[in-house]
Amino acid sequence: MSQSISHRQAIVEDVTGGLPAGAALLDFGCGDGKEVMEWRSRGFRAMGCDVAQYSDSDECEALYRQGVLRLIRPEPYRIPFDDDTFDVVVSNQVFEHVKDYPSAIKETQRVLKPGGVALHLFPPRWKPIEAHVNVPFSGVWQSPLWLRLWAQLGVRNEFQGGMDASRVAQLNVDYLRGHTNYLTTTELRREFERYFTTVRFIEDVYLRHSPSRKARALYRLQTLIPSVRNAYSCFRERVVVAVKS
């Protein structure tokens, strides 16, 4: 985890020019809070929020009791923090699950201070293997026939071992349609620009600071061949940064 947090920290510091000591940070979609604690160990005043409490461990329970982690109110959708609270909002592999983009983006903008930065990492809709069901290109193609074909061929995720193909296909249909929402680049830009005046796709910055030598080699290559960056953002990772004016 430390390596991935270091990666995100380097990206944020790159796009902001550096963060003040003790900057306030919100982990949007914090899960069990482990990454929040990692940010806090680095000197950030980090907090987290999510739509549900995903762990009943003693540590997670304590973080909720202390108010370090908080639940997002669903109706009306509201992040449980005051306006202009955070210098940075980060999310990692969260926005592919967001059904109501306008409400989520509006709320991240609201809790940011003026000049604050939101950084969001998430898979693109054309990623060759959809990470939750392991079915090729099912960020785009979610028809029962397509999902049944791959179930018949034996494709399963880690929770589906031993299930018959019909059951697997139906679970995948239900999950993809109920819990994922892969937008196009045009749609993403439109949604973020409704609430942020500065919106950038920064897959090049992501590659430049990656701990992976292969990714850094791709960064050098994309400076010579711009289509490499386009292919990476289309098939591997989306990285969006938005600045509150």
What domains can be seen in the chain, in order of their start residue? 2-124+182-243 (3.40.50.150), 126-181 (no CATH)
When the pLDDT of each residue in the chain is averaged and rounded to a whole number, the result is 96
Q: At 226, phi and psi to the nearest 5?
A: -60, -25
Q: Which residues of the chain have pLDDT under 50?
A: none
Contact 244, 115 (CB under 8 A): yes
Burial 119-138 (b: 16+ CB within 10 A, else e): bbbbbbbebeebebbebbbb
Contact 112, 143 (CB under 8 A): no
Contact 183, 101 (CB under 8 A): yes
Q: Which helix (H) or strand (E) holds 239?
A: strand 238-243
Q: Say which residues have a Cβ less than 8 Å from residue 176's Cβ, sequence separation at least 6.
A: 130, 132, 133, 138, 142, 147
DSSP code of 68?
A: S
pLDDT of residue 1: 64
Radius of gyration of the chain (CA): 19
> Among 106, 100, 67, which residue's Cα sits nearest to residue 196?
106
- For the whole model, what pTM was predicted? 0.95
Contact 218, 10 (CB under 8 A): no
What SS3 class is residue 32?
A: coil
pLDDT of residue 2: 87
